[in-house]
């Protein structure tokens, strides 16, 4: 029980040195590869963010992962993300790594098949509408299940239409 609460000076030194090394590495790699490394722009970006966090945690707190191994792992994740970002300019590659955004509602119409496809419940949809301060379904222009898993609610009390460019890449089914 004592080991669970307390530690020794040697372990604290290990954590301190690992933290300095990993912190410096993350700053350098983020400068080189850009802030997208921590974005949620696609499911792949999100997975990279989780992997980066996992590598950082295991390097800082596990004696079985050396600082050099942690730096190598981080660098490799950043490189993979950079390569993926580069190849996203090709449609076939983008289709392989990214999810398409999907309409859940168009106007007041709920697209039940798309809700099912996205595994979004009616309750989830209502919650997102409330979160977006929608008070009447007639205000809803569109609800979109984004490639990141986020849900966007486009609404207005005015009789406006959505510019087609904004929803150009959104799938209706």
Q: Which CATH number does the domain housing residue 146 bear?
A: 3.30.240.20
71 and 128 in one domain? Answer: no
Helices 67-87 and 43-61 cross at an angle (nearest 10°) of: 170
106 and 90 in one domain? Answer: no
Average pLDDT score, the chain: 89
Q: How far is CA 144 from the centre of its chain?
A: 16
Domain span at residue 29? 2-95
Global pTM exceeds 0.85: no
What average pLDDT score do residues 129-154 get? 93
What is the model's pLDDT at position 1?
A: 64
Q: What is the pLDDT of residues 66-94, one digit of tens each?
A: 999 999 999 999 999 889 888 988 988 88
How many domains does the structure of the chain reveal?
Answer: 2
């Amino acid at each position: 029980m004592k080991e669970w609460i307390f530690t020794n000076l040697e372990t604290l030194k290990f954590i301190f040195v690992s933290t300095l090394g990993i912190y410096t590495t993350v700053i350098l790699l983020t400068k080189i590869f850009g802030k997208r490394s921590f974005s949620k722009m696609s499911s792949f970006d999100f997975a990279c963010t989780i992997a980066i966090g996992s590598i950082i945690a295991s390097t800082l707190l596990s004696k079985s992962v050396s600082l050099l191994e942690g730096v190598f792992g981080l660098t490799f994740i950043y490189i993979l993300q950079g390569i993926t970002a580069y190849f996203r300019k090709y449609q076939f590659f983008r289709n392989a790594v990214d999810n398409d955004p999907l309409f859940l509602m168009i106007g007041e119409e709920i697209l039940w098949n798309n809700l099912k496809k996205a595994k979004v419940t009616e309750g989830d949809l209502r919650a997102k509408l409330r979160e977006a301060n929608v008070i009447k379904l007639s205000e809803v222009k569109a609800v979109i299940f984004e490639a990141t898993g986020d849900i966007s609610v486009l609404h207005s009390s005015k009789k406006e239409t959505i510019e087609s460019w904004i929803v150009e890449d959104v799938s209706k089914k």
